[in-house]
Amino acid sequence: MSLKIKSFEFNGFQENTFVVSDEEKNGVIIDPGCYSHEEEKMLSSYIEQEQLTIIALLNTHAHIDHVLGNAYVKEKYKVDYYLHNDDIKTLNSVEQYASLYGFSGYKTSPQPSVSLEHATELILGNMRIKVLHTPGHCPGHVVFYFQSEGIVINGDVLFNGSFGRTDLPGGNLEILKTSIFETMFQLPEDTIVYCGHGPSTTIGAEKLNNYIHQF
């Protein structure tokens, strides 16, 4: 099986949105950060050009920059929305602070229709996705591990040389360190890590060079 991964950099936080699709043109949208009409059009145009059938909306977590496009995706593609239950509070708080970050036109995200659980496997089209609960950046953070492809879409847990902030509500450095050392760093070293911001990396590179080792 061969998956295609397309990334978009959206909104003022320069958040990475991913569309993952299989050879039969089934696609999932992960962390839609599209806010402006132009960004929404970029996302939908790619989906149309690739002739994809979108079958799910997935969030690694529910901070504002990762959910700005949830309402748009849910309305346009009429798909199930997956989120960990521990991040529903994070999701529901977005509406209260969106305007403070300059997103006065924020369209309220729908509520999740499917709860993500640690160590379960999602089968979406021909995609097999292992869900790993990785709190610390926020309580309900998960990563999506495509084991057969050797890739993980990891939201804001690991970055290239760095890691997710822990000074926001629900953040905890010690818990994040546990998620990194006991979950992320247990993946094969050649696993490609797609990050919520910035360039991709590998588990092996981060085990050697990540700033987390200094904490």
Mind listing the pLDDT tens digit of every residue in the chain (215 residues)?
589 999 999 999 999 999 999 999 999 999 999 999 999 999 999 999 999 999 999 999 999 999 999 999 999 999 999 999 999 999 999 999 999 999 999 999 999 999 999 999 999 999 999 999 999 999 999 999 999 999 999 999 999 999 999 999 999 999 999 999 999 999 999 999 999 999 999 999 999 999 998 98
Domain positions in the chain: 4-214
54, 75, 72, 125 alpha-carbon torsion, rounded to 10°: -10
pTM over 0.85: yes
Q: For 183-202, b where at least 16 C-beta lie within 10 A, e where not — what string?
A: bbbebeeebebbbbbeebbb
- The CATH fold assigned to 4-214 is Metallo-beta-lactamase; Chain A (3.60.15)
From the CB of residue 144, how many other CB atoms can be counted at a distance below 10 Å? 26
Return the C-alpha torsion angle 109, 111, 114, 120, nearest 10. 70
Spatial distance between the Cα atoms of 168 and 98, rounded to a whole number of angstroms: 14
